[in-house]
A and B are shown apart, each in its own frame.
Chain A
């Protein structure tokens, strides 16, 4: 495998991605606005849960970051559909690169942007919302990276089963919405109905939030997030297997727009 050729695609993907400022608006500005709007709600919820010193950002920052991270993973699929629409997919496939190099070049930007998105939201949380982490920053970083990989694998699985852009949008949005809502990123799991609480552990976002909570509010370290990390890795493996089993490089995908 040639890292140089994957890097060429990765670099190109970044250039293309940031020709459209709506990407930046969606992944950073909207989550920050949501945090500002909902922080006070979570302030009261956290106080009721036994964290009287919390100001709400301890839930709102990771919640919005993970929730919007889940929505962003459709971008992994979008890059494939976009290349089909622009006629560049066949050109990429005709280039002297292996399929692994090609897929790596396409997926790494999505993973890295999700990592950056979460990291920037956490970093901006301090000055903007008085957000602080009681526990290990390394544990936070590990959760962010593993979550980004897992969500991108989910995006690839959705891409693999979608034949049209509409399918990608529909399946990706339903999946992301389900992960955000049922995973307890927008509403704390304890405040959700009983049936939703029962379903929540089936969402990778639930485990990310569980890990973040133990570090941010309960001063946890890396050892305290091992279980959430392993479960997230498990989700990533399952999504990757699904994507690999169904994805066909030569399959045509219909891009509208």
Chain B
């Protein structure tokens, strides 16, 4: 349904995408996973026709997204990262506008508004002004707009950012349901847990490059062992800081296919009182990210967030 090949995009000196390849089939959820600033929003924006790539190919349902952009957008439902609602008119009027723009006829539009409102549990909100809704309610309406015309390709960019637990669950349930009905979903997120909850395939994006692609299980099997992570009150003892360990200040990470055996061999050799904490990090997408980039995912996210305050959002 979606074919992206060799996609490149720069904002001045800031390179957002460095040749990204992604494919999403019908009935598939592909999670575009990466820390803030990895290039997820830029990729989604280009697929949605909001930005022009510097190079590369984007095809939706076999149609070139640049030369046949209107037809391509007819096949896409986009929920951008930033909420987009007219606050001075009712939720129903918001839905009516975008439904009409998507080509829905009056009777069909009324039916679809009822259907998506029920699916996202916003029926009671239809006659309320957009500006009077809570953040979670706005997020649900925002998502509903993307679903009105039954798009075969759904682009959800950070769809649960700022959402309450209930809203998050509704959105994730809906994504699963739409996929079961045959839609292709490109779901951009920086929450590792959501990817695992959705059971989606993953395109792991880092600094504008897809560094891994596949199912969660496959990525973990290919790239991640459990890791024993230790922090010390002192410098990392030499007995630990050997070639197989990753040392970062007073913290050391040791890849350990058998963590118990690893700990059993290391702990007796440590100087008394040197060890502060020990943690066994089970293999997960975080382990995959760590294995592929040498950085912890949450740290990369925090660093990128700080950088994003100074450069163009990507």
Chain A contacts to B: CB under 8 angstroms? 4-5, 8-9, 12, 15-16, 19-20, 86-98, 250
Whether B211 sits at the interface, judged by CB under 8 Å, is: no
Partner of A19, one of B49, B88, B98: B88
Please, which residues of chain A bring their CB within 8 A of the CB of B100? 4-5, 8
* Closest beta carbon of chain B to A54's beta carbon, Å: 44
Interface hub of B74, B87, B100 (most chain A Cβ within 10 A)? B100
A-B contact pairs, 8 of them (CB 8 A): A19-B88, A86-B85, A89-B84, A90-B82, A94-B80, A96-B103, A97-B101, A250-B50
Whether B102 sits at the interface, judged by CB under 8 Å, is: yes
In chain B, positions 42-76 with a C-beta closer than 8 Å to chain A are: 45, 48-52, 70-71, 73-74, 76
Q: A87 and B80: CB pair below 8 A?
A: yes
Q: A90 and B88: CB pair below 8 A?
A: no
Complex Cα distance A91/B144, Å?
12
Complex Cα distance A98/B74, Å?
11
B111-135 interface code vs A (CB 8 A; 1 in, 0 out): 0000000000000000000000000
Q: B97 and A8: CB pair below 8 A?
A: yes
* Closest beta carbon of chain A to B155's beta carbon, Å: 8
Complex Cα distance A64/B149, Å?
47
Complex Cα distance A75/B101, Å?
23
- A87-B83, A91-B78 known; A96-B101 Cβ under 8 A: yes
Complex Cα distance A91/B52, Å?
16
Main secondary structure of the interface of B (DSSP, over half): loop
* Closest beta carbon of chain A to B78's beta carbon, Å: 4
Complex Cα distance A92/B49, Å?
11
Partner of A96, one of B45, B50, B71: B71
Whether B145 sits at the interface, judged by CB under 8 Å, is: yes
* Closest beta carbon of chain B to A10's beta carbon, Å: 11
Q: A15 and B89: CB pair below 8 A?
A: yes
Please, which residues of chain A bring their CB within 8 A of the CB of B78? 90-91, 94
- A16-B89, A94-B76, A97-B101 known; A87-B82 Cβ under 8 A: yes
- A5-B101, A87-B80, A98-B70 known; A93-B50 Cβ under 8 A: yes
Q: Select from chain B the residue with minimum beta-carbon distance to A13.
A: B97
* Closest beta carbon of chain A to B83's beta carbon, Å: 5
Known: A94-B48, A95-B102. 18 other contacts (CB 8 A): A5-B100, A12-B97, A15-B93, A19-B88, A19-B89, A86-B84, A87-B80, A88-B84, A88-B85, A90-B78, A91-B98, A94-B49, A94-B78, A96-B74, A96-B102, A96-B103, A97-B101, A250-B52
- A86-B84, A90-B80 known; A95-B50 Cβ under 8 A: no
Complex Cα distance A97/B98, Å?
11
Q: A88 and B103: CB pair below 8 A?
A: no
Please, which residues of chain A bring their CB within 8 A of the CB of B97? 8-9, 12
Please, which residues of chain B bring their CB within 8 A of the CB of A5? 100-101, 103
Interface hub of B74, B82, B86, B98 (most chain A Cβ within 10 A)? B86
Q: B80 and A12: CB pair below 8 A?
A: no
Interface hub of B45, B101, B102, B145 (most chain A Cβ within 10 A)? B101
